Amino acid sequence: LVDEAQRRGSTYVDPPARLSRLIAEASSEFALGRQADAHEAFVLLINRWLSGCLAAGDGSGCNLSKLGFQEKERLEASSLVGHVFGLQVAQRMACESCDYASKKSDVEYCLMLNVTLGMTQEELQRCRQDSLAKLQSWRRRPLGGGSSDSNVSPTSLEELIDEYMRQERIEDWKCEKCKQLGGVRSFYVGR
């Protein structure tokens, strides 16, 4: 973008506008007038970059787009995009009655944390009321913005991750080994 602007003799480049146009061209979901958020744009970019890595190949000359899901996931995770953005997310279910435990892991490219996780019903209600009041105030605001203060207790990224990884008892989970009900689920994040 900068090189193109310099060739035309321009002193100003607006990469966000260009990036926005390229994203809109890549998916009708981002067409002008449609509602989409930054997370959806990020996921679109990651998916396109991963597809580009598979299309570029691994040097073997094989068509990697015809591989199975697990093989593709392994190659994507080992790509440049996978190294920069990939997370190994694992879930472990342990039986409360015997020593059986199952583990499942996947590569994820964004960790979605629930900012209301762990809030009391009163805090959730206050958050909803506060959000509605902010929306109504925003609609009536003069141009120029306003405050983004909230009546909800502040939290930190560390607290959100701790809450995400907190063990959870699942009463109706049935053990594959002893067939008893009740297990504990826990999540782990690596890389």
The string of pLDDT tens digits covering residues 19-40 is 777 777 777 777 666 667 778 8
Find the radius of gyration of the CA atoms of the chain: 23
d(Cα 151, Cα 128) in Å, to the nearest integer? 11
pTM over 0.85: no
Could you give the C-alpha distances from 17 to 10, 13, 21, 166, in angstroms and in order?
Answer: 15, 9, 6, 41
The sign of the CA dihedral 128, 130, 135, 140 is: positive
Using DSSP, state whether 107 is helix, strand or coil. Answer: strand
Rounded to the nearest integer, the mean pLDDT of the chain is 80
Side by side, the strands of the sheet bearing 168-174 are 101-108, 87-95, 181-190, 168-174
CB-based contact 184:170 (threshold 8 Å): yes
Residues 6+ apart with CB under 8 A from 189: 87, 88, 89, 90, 111, 161, 165
- Most confident residue range from 34-38, 43-47, 119-123, 179-183: 179-183
Give percent of the chain with pLDDT exceeding 70. 77
